[in-house]
Chain A
Amino acid sequence: MAEFHSGEQLLQLCNEKNLSISQIIIENEMELTGLDREQVVSKMKDNVLVMRQSIKKGLEENIKSVSGMIGGEAKKMRGYFKEHQPVSGNVMADAVSAALAVTEVNAAMGQIVAAPTAGSCGIIPGALLTAAENMKATEEEIINALFVAAGIGNIIAQNATVAGAEGGCQAETGSASAMAAAGIVEMAGGSPEQAIHAAAMTLKNILGLVCDPIAGLVEAPCSKRNALGTANALVSADMALAGIQSIIPFDEVVTTMYKIGRSLPCELRETALGGLAATPTGQRLQKEIFGK
């Protein structure tokens, strides 16, 4: 059996079976669905394909969201760092432009992979696929890293939530970033312990972030928070690979994230009644978009 309900259990399974996190997650998936390894891997390949297509589309086409609030920022970012040395470095700028691209495609009713949600769909393609390109990872390593990401998201979904309406933005972009960070660590040759520490640090960095979408739409500030989540994942992955550990264990961070989410007032959980949505500009935009 490869069933797991916490980070600790997942690590225990890795140690007992002497397997990487990705191999445990793949075994669990096979047990759960009755599919064989090839079928499970092929489903993940479909996800990679759509993630890559959405990055390309967002970087090459002229995108405008349904409301018109966002679109074109990914291209702007890509254009900027082709011309200038980006302050945060090439990999970071590349990852951030990819993340913006995917969120813009999403907001324009294009095809994306919910990862774990549509609102946080830019982070895993942005951070993980860009890191993969930079370290010249093989397709197999990329697929494995995505299974690690799915495993981390699974533990968060089991013990907390990945929905902004329940837990705020920390639950959506925070989960996506933690998932990406752990996947990147395994892809870079880090240990299962390091991957879990990366996830813990990423989630800790974003605790308390509210969900306050302008006009209630998955556009602003969502797109830019995907950019931040991408940076968070890359920074935490590097810290974990350097041997830095999270002082609070991953499972306790996950429970804390959930408790914080539940204690957020409903105005700050995807209702568009508080935060940036309630600012004079947010209110004006809402009126312009919906005419009320």
Chain B
Amino acid sequence: MKNYSSFDILGPIMVGPSSSHTAGAARLGKIGRSIAAEEIRHVTFYLHGSFAATYQGHGTDKALVAGMLGMDPHDPDLRNSFDIAHKKGIGFEFIPINMEDAHPNTVKMAITSITGKETIIIGSSIGGGNIMITEINGISIEFTGQYPTLITKHIDKPGVIARVTTILADYQVNVAFMKVYRQSKGKIASMIVETDEGMPGEIINNINQIPDIKNAVIINPV
């Protein structure tokens, strides 16, 4: 049986009104910003289910934009996120859509960075401010953002995973959870590694130097 922390029960400190519609939405936005990993020019938020039905009343829209600006769910400035984004010249829009079987609180974020790069992320707010990222750029994945998370895009070849985990071991980083995904054999694959310890920047430089690693990013817990 799960043993919760006292601060899972009394907490988090957050901006209201709803842990799933506001705090969770801010975390989804913040994760989106980290995955995009470049300065953001415009975001289109496609909202599904309860997110689509009640986003204005719950401040889901303001929370998503606040997260994209790097704010935490407890930031009192969260409710002013639209103005702050306007001042920074970041554009955003909200479009309700139906994503069929998706969780009722799901958002698809289409992020355009200032270099023109497009990143498309799908994630859900699954209760109590907890979230689950389920898709990045068309690849189905699953991670919660509760742990430091390494996300790679690499070529599906023998030895790539071993080289990554060796680097983690060299830095005394313990792997808590790990999943590997691929579109088809020998093509583009992705690895999600959730770790107990934080990962210093050198790790990402070393991992990015591995042949067959196309791109690797570290997402810190939000």
Interface, chain A (partner B; CB < 8 A): 3, 5, 25, 28-29, 32-33, 40, 43-44, 46-47, 50, 65-67, 105-119, 121, 124, 146-147, 149-151, 153-154, 157-158, 162-163, 165, 179, 215-219, 289-290
Taking CB atoms, residues of chain B closer than 8 Å to A40 are 6
Please determine whether B6 and A118 come into contact, CB atoms closer than 8 angstroms. no
Q: How far is the CA of A198 from the CA of B118 in the complex (A)?
A: 55
Taking CB atoms, residues of chain A closer than 8 Å to B10 are 44, 47, 113-116, 124, 146, 149-150, 153
Taking CB atoms, residues of chain B closer than 8 Å to A115 are 9-11
**A118-B19 contact, Cβ under 8 Å, with A158-B1, A165-B127:** yes
Please determine whether A117 and B128 come into contact, CB atoms closer than 8 angstroms. yes
13 pairs, A vs B, C-beta closer than 8 Å? A5-B3, A106-B17, A108-B16, A114-B11, A114-B12, A153-B10, A154-B3, A158-B4, A216-B57, A218-B58, A219-B17, A290-B53, A290-B57
CB of A207, distance to nearest CB on chain B (Å): 20
Q: How far is the CA of A107 from the CA of B79 in the complex (A)?
A: 12
Q: How far is the CA of A65 from the CA of B16 in the complex (A)?
A: 10
Q: How far is the CA of A32 from the CA of B79 in the complex (A)?
A: 34
Number of residue pairs spanning A and B whose beta carbons lie under 8 angstroms apart: 140
Taking CB atoms, residues of chain A closer than 8 Å to B53 are 216, 290
Please determine whether A290 and B56 come into contact, CB atoms closer than 8 angstroms. yes
Q: Is there a chain A Cβ closer than 8 Å to B90's Cβ?
A: no
Chain B CB count within 10 A is highest, among A112, A117, A118, A163, for: A118
Please determine whether B57 and A111 come into contact, CB atoms closer than 8 angstroms. no
Interface residues on B, range: 35 or more
Interface, chain B (partner A; CB < 8 A): 1-19, 22-23, 50, 53-54, 56-59, 62, 74, 76, 78-79, 127-129
Q: How far is the CA of A124 from the CA of B10 in the complex (A)?
A: 9
Please determine whether B57 and A67 come into contact, CB atoms closer than 8 angstroms. yes
CB of B73, distance to nearest CB on chain A (Å): 10
Please determine whether A43 and B7 come into contact, CB atoms closer than 8 angstroms. yes
CB of A220, distance to nearest CB on chain B (Å): 11
Please determine whether A118 and B5 come into contact, CB atoms closer than 8 angstroms. no
CB of B114, distance to nearest CB on chain A (Å): 29
Please determine whether B128 and A66 come into contact, CB atoms closer than 8 angstroms. no
Which residue of A25, A121, A215 contacts B16 across the interface (Cβ within 8 Å)? A121
Q: Which residue of A lies closest to B75 (CB)?
A: A111
Which residue of B6, B17, B57, B76 contacts A289 across the interface (Cβ within 8 Å)? B57
Please determine whether B127 and A112 come into contact, CB atoms closer than 8 angstroms. no
Q: How far is the CA of A116 from the CA of B59 in the complex (A)?
A: 20
11 extra interface residue pairs, beta carbon distance < 8 Å, beyond A47-B11, A111-B13? A47-B13, A66-B59, A67-B57, A108-B16, A119-B17, A149-B10, A150-B10, A179-B9, A217-B17, A218-B17, A290-B57
CB of A22, distance to nearest CB on chain B (Å): 10
**A50-B54 contact, Cβ under 8 Å, with A109-B78, A151-B6:** no
Which residue of A28, A117, A119, A146 contacts B3 across the interface (Cβ within 8 Å)? A28
The 9 lowest CB-CB distance pairs between A and B, nearest first, are A106-B16, A150-B6, A153-B9, A109-B79, A218-B17, A217-B57, A216-B54, A150-B10, A150-B9
Please determine whether A50 and B13 come into contact, CB atoms closer than 8 angstroms. yes
Chain A CB count within 10 A is highest, among B11, B16, B57, B58, for: B16
Please determine whether B3 and A217 come into contact, CB atoms closer than 8 angstroms. no
**A111-B3 contact, Cβ under 8 Å, with A47-B13, A50-B13:** no
